Structure formats: structure tokens, C-alpha cells
């Protein structure tokens, strides 16, 4: 139980800081409703759980691999964020009338956000927190380690539920002009994160 609770706290803490994935998730919730945002958030939660599992399974080896891949991951993540920012800023997407998305759209949102989170420089920087937590998890058995990974997923997913719910509520009170401003602002922010990633590679 302690491993699970620690994992929940860690997952929530890693997901909560404002970053490109948070901006993307919030925008999708505003445009498409709660489930559109949540589908995106669950992709990020899966990526967080993957990092936690890797850290627990092979801490030293994974840390060395991540260190070697830092530059290419920054480059790939930076380019992806810039392209996503341009697409977001230039998009003219009508708001969905309800909060229900198709299974296909939900899976597509989950998969794309998972990929972005895996190569997202902000997630890579947060990996240090996962490594620190893994030091705690190394003293537990396999069941405890699994509970920690599941906790990371649950904690991360909990944050995305909160953010998606907020976006779903806000979308009911904004005008098309404000939605357009959100698109431009979100695109600019995503592009700025991409430029930062390229500059820090």
C-alpha cells in the first residue's frame, strides 16, 4: 500500500506542472469535451508509467541510455512540438456539441499524446524524479514495485481527469473568438516549448 500511495503522489506531481502536454490536453478538453481531454491525458499517464517501470527494472542501465539519447530526444520532441504548435495555431476546429468522442478518435488522441510524452523534453527532465522514487522502490519486492508503477499511472491519470474536467466546464462559457485566441495561444506556447527543446539539445 505504501508503494502504491507513493506512486500516486509521484505520478500526480510529475503530471501537474504546466507544460506542452498539459496545454495540449486542456485545449482538447475545451474543443472536444471531457473525454477528448482525458484520452490525451491517459496517453501521458501511460508514458509516465513506462518511465517508472523502466526506472524500477533497470535503474542504472536506463539512466545511461536516457543520457545518451537526450540530444536526439530533444531534437525529435522539439520538432514535433513546433509542428504541433503550428497546426494548433492555424487550425479552425469547431467545438464538439457534446462530451462524447468516438473510440477511434479517443485511441488516436491517446497514442499521439503517448508518443509526444515519451519524447517530450519536460518529461525527460522529470525522469530525475522517477529515478529518485525508484530508489525508494528498490527496497520492495516485485509486487511492491508493480504497485508503485500502477500508482504512478493512477496519480498521473488523476491529474488529467482534473484538467479535463476544468476544460470541459470552461468550454461552455467561451465564445468562438475566445476559442480562436486559445488556439493561437496554445499553438504559440507549444511552439515555444519546441524551440526551447531544440535550443537545449
User: Could you report the per-residue pLDDT of 43-55, keeping only the tens digit for each?
Assistant: 999 988 887 777 6
**Where are the alpha helices (H) located in 16-141, listed in sequence order?**
20-32, 34-57, 59-90, 103-119, 121-137
Cell output for 39: 484520452
pLDDT tens, residue by residue, 21-75? 888 888 888 888 888 889 989 999 998 888 777 766 655 566 566 667 667 777 7
Q: What is the pLDDT of residue 63?
A: 59
User: Quick check: pTM over 0.85?
Assistant: no
Q: In the chain, where are the structural domains located?
A: 2-199
Cell output for 86: 503550428
Amino acid at each position: 500500500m505504501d508503494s502504491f500511495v507513493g506512486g500516486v503522489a509521484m505520478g500526480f506531481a510529475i503530471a501537474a506542472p504546466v507544460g506542452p502536454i498539459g496545454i495540449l490536453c486542456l485545449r482538447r478538453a475545451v474543443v472536444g469535451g471531457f473525454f477528448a481531454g482525458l484520452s490525451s491525458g491517459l496517453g501521458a499517464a501511460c508514458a509516465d508509467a513506462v518511465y517508472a517501470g523502466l526506472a524500477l527494472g533497470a535503474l542504472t542501465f536506463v539512466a545511461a541510455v536516457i543520457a545518451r539519447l537526450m540530444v536526439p530526444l530533444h531534437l525529435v520532441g522539439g520538432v514535433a512540438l513546433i509542428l504541433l504548435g503550428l497546426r494548433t495555431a492555424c487550425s479552425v476546429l469547431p467545438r464538439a456539441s457534446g462530451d462524447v468522442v468516438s473510440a477511434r478518435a479517443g485511441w488516436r488522441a491517446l497514442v499521439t499524446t503517448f508518443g509526444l510524452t515519451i519524447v517530450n523534453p519536460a518529461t525527460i527532465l522529470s525522469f530525475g524524479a522517477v529515478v529518485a522514487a525508484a530508489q525508494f522502490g528498490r527496497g520492495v519486492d516485485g509486487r511492491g514495485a508493480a504497485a508503485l508503477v500502477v500508482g504512478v499511472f493512477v496519480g498521473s491519470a488523476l491529474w488529467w481527469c482534473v484538467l479535463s474536467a476544468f476544460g470541459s466546464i470552461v468550454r461552455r462559457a467561451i465564445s468562438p473568438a475566445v476559442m480562436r485566441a486559445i488556439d493561437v495561444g496554445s499553438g504559440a506556447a507549444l511552439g515555444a516549448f519546441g524551440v526551447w527543446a531544440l535550443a537545449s539539445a
